[in-house]
Structure 1
Amino acid sequence: MLRLRACIASHLLPSPSTSAISTLHRLISAAAPAISPRPGFTVEDYLVDTCGLTRAQALRASRKLTHLKSRAKPDAVLSFLDSLGLSSTAVAATVARDPQFLCAKVCKTLDPVIVGLTDIGLSGPEIARLIPIAPDRFRCRSIVSTLQCYLVLFGSIEKLLWMVERRPYLLSGAHLDNVVKPNLVFLRKCGLDIAKLCSHVPMILTTKPERIQEMVARAEGIGVPRDSGMFRQALQAVAFLTEERIAAQVDYLKKTFMWTDAEVRIAITRAPMLLRISKDKLRYRFEFFISEVGLEPLYIAYRPAILSYSMEGRLRPRHYVLKFLKANGLLDQNRDYYSVVMLTKEVFVKKFICAHKEVAPHLAEDYEATRRGEVPTRFRFT
């Protein structure tokens, strides 16, 4: 235990030289008493009583620790985690995800990883956030080079943590040199903002380079050139979609919205994410726009972004507000629906609700009710 605390202290305190750390390790190791196995040690009970796992979790985890006959190593690892500030909940999550983490060698395996991560700028609390996400990766020194690569890509530790907390598989460093780095080079040549692209399609980093090249070709195939400002969205839309799926979606758009080949191409190049919207949502929006709002198919083709907005949160409530204002002579009858839909909620409320609060004091209340799925009496036009 004393040897372990010396290892951790060497990285949490101001940086002494490497030779000094090694000398300190040797001295403390020589002085530390041997740890003998406690009688009656059972892995499953240890996982429950000491690591905080449930009995069911402990049963599953113990199957990977059948070789463990003593609590010496797991005690050392738990002390290591405690020195980094991991909570009991985080410790339990770490062990449940990777039971073999308890068998890692602190000074030979875990300690060098902490040194490497500290060297690239991560603090103790930041490292503590990462360990429960992918503890198995902390048993591999390659995690340092992987995180260093992503740190350059995302530009800050906070953005990096945000990403890997949601996509732990990014921490796998097995294909860093022959997959991730070649993909980064190729995507940069395409003129893409890779950080933004990866925030929506993170798997694109860990996909085989030849598949990435096929995705880029498909994005160009739907009519969006690489030098277009829409190319990133086009690539996000077609990523991991087959040619057959894309063709089927295009055909559905043509039939549902009664678009010609030219019109559907216009719509897709202006809003590539139409290729990913479900058929039910597209049909629901089409019926609403045509039957209730009174839009023409061609109008929608040139303004396809409205198909991606929330029906309950934006499209229907704003339609009712506009209709109410027009019916009461408070708004120009020719006010364009699309221009209103595109406004932020704050601007919409200010211009179309707050501006009429004297003559329509219940408008704000009715608008919020509509956003909850209700239709207030004042919004019912017969």
Structure 2
Amino acid sequence: MILVRKNSSLLLGFLAGTSKISILLPPTNLLTPPRLFTTKANDPSPKTPFIVKYLIDSLGLSSSEADKCSKFLTHVKSPSKPDSVIEFFRKNGFTDADIKRIICCNSKVVCAKIDSTLKPKFEVMGDLGFSDTQITKLITANPLTLNYLSYCNVAPRIEFYNTIIDSKDDIIKAIARDICLLTCSLEKTIKPNIAFLRECQFSNERISSLLIHSRRVISRPLNTLKSIAKRVDELGVPRESGMFYYGFLSLCRLNSDLFDAKIKLLISLGFSESEVLSLFLKHPLILCLSGKNLRYKVDFFVKEVGCKLSYVSCHPFLLSLSLTKRLIPRNYVMELIMKKGFLKKKIDIVNFASMPERKFLEKYIVSFQKRMPELPDVYLSASAGIFLY
């Protein structure tokens, strides 16, 4: 539906310019007081622990969430400590939903001391130049970071990350995505890994991207990164090539068994070994797609579009495009335009599938609308999985 709304807004812009029991019982049992026959369901339930009731009433946790959190809080018998912690978070800009998330992830925080534990953690981040909003985003995104926000732990790391990542917002994103950036050794792991990536001719921009967007890459053992780089070398991707970075990233996301399984899958779908290698060399991240995704897309290109696998291997980026949001609706509309005789010759899917949405709308929807007024609705419906013709 998001896509439909987006397409719809673009189209509007252009167009504007779902009793037997007694027989079974021995006679002696008939004299037994009825209370002994009461079912377990009628027995009074054990008293709900204070902290469980507190978490349910104060933060709206479900019974199961409160039970899970209470395992480490059985000693809490009074609301004074958790009340003060919750109030502290509220004063620092956290919503009740944020606080609920933090406590569900790190329940021991309700016992934290405000002045000696929580305040210093917020102050050190503020002293390092982070705004209240940024601190809130970090802790909400990954509540476990609260355990590691001490000056001696954070200050040298932030100072180092500042040399690679341009903005404080991106540093927050990196740490929130990979808490190991705060837990593993800066001197023994992070810095040596960064130095190795520079040996691989990765630019500062690409190292920054790995830090921000890729979980558990920079924080891996150095020998692991060296092994991955060596395998990319063996696959024939030169280190000076821009594709080496993407090949490296692809193998970081796939262990050896998964990588081999994807290769075997593509071969089972009909690609030759040379075509599979071509796919990897031109678009390494294709192998990170799920097997189901790959099967559906290959089936679409071969059976619906009529492409040969050699064509797909020459244009592997096609496999990275959304099947339901882009490939199917665009191909459907293009076939309809052809049937109506609006085009003299068939357009290769690589040409119209690669277009930005605005350009596709201009060239093939709006321009043919006079001859086929329902075309915008046809395209929007196809984008929603509804085919009118």
Alpha-carbon offset, residue 187 of structure 1: 1.9
1:333 to 345, 351, 367: 345
1:153 CA drift (Å): 3.8
**Match of residue 207, structure 1, among 197, 212, 220:** 220
Do 1:110 and 1:139's aligned partners in 2 also have CA atoms closer than 8 Å? no
Counterparts in 2 of 1:79-118, with a 5 A limit? 79-118=87-126
Report the number of matched residues. 335
Shift in CA distance, 212/49, structure 1 to aligned 2, threshold 3 Å: same
8 Å Cα contact 1:51-1:95 kept in structure 2: no
Matched residue, 2:44: none
Partner of 2:131: 123
| Matched residue type, 2:165 | F
> Does the aligned pair in 2 maintain the 1:215–1:238 contact within 8 Å?
yes
TM-score (normalised: structure 2)? 0.75
Q: Distance in 1 between matches of 2:98 and 2:109?
A: 13
The secondary structure found in structure 2 opposite 1:154 is coil
Alignment of 1:8-27 (within 5 A): none
Moved more, 110-119 or 47-56: 47-56
Matches within 5 A, 1:189-208: 189-192=199-202, 193-208=206-221
Q: Which amino acid in the other structure matches residue 324 of structure 2?
A: E
Match of residue 167 from structure 2: 156
Contiguous gaps of at least 5 residues in structure 1? 1-40, 378-382
- Residue 335 of structure 2 corresponds to 323
2:294 equivalent in structure 1: 282
Work out the CA distance in 2 between the residues paired with 1:143 and 1:45. 36
Question: Out of 182, 186, 191, which is 1:181 matched to?
Answer: 191
Q: Give the AA of the match of 1:117.
A: M
Is residue 2:321 matched to residue 1:313? no
- Name 2:240's counterpart in structure 1: 227
Structure 1 residue 51, shift from structure 2 partner = 5.5
Cα 1:331–1:56 change in 2 (3 A) is same
Question: Of 357, 373, 382, which aligns to 1:345?
Answer: 357
Instruction: Give the counterpart letter for 2:283 in structure 1.
Output: A
Residues 314/181 of structure 1: CA separation in 2 closer, same or farther (3 Å cut): same
Q: CA RMSD in A?
A: 2.9
1:364 aligns with 2:372: no
Q: 1:46 to 1:285 in 2, by over 3 A?
A: closer
Alpha-carbon deviation of 1:151? Answer: 5.0
1:298 and 1:56 mapped to 2: Cα distance?
54
Alignment partners' CA distance in 1, 2:224 and 2:142: 26
Q: Is the 8 A contact 1:104 1:139 kept in 2?
A: no
* Corresponding residue for residue 243 of structure 1: 256
- The TM-score, its normalising length taken from structure 1, stands at 0.76
The offset of 1:143, in angstroms, is 4.2
Moved over 6 A (4+): none
> How far has the Cα of 1:182 moved from its partner?
2.4
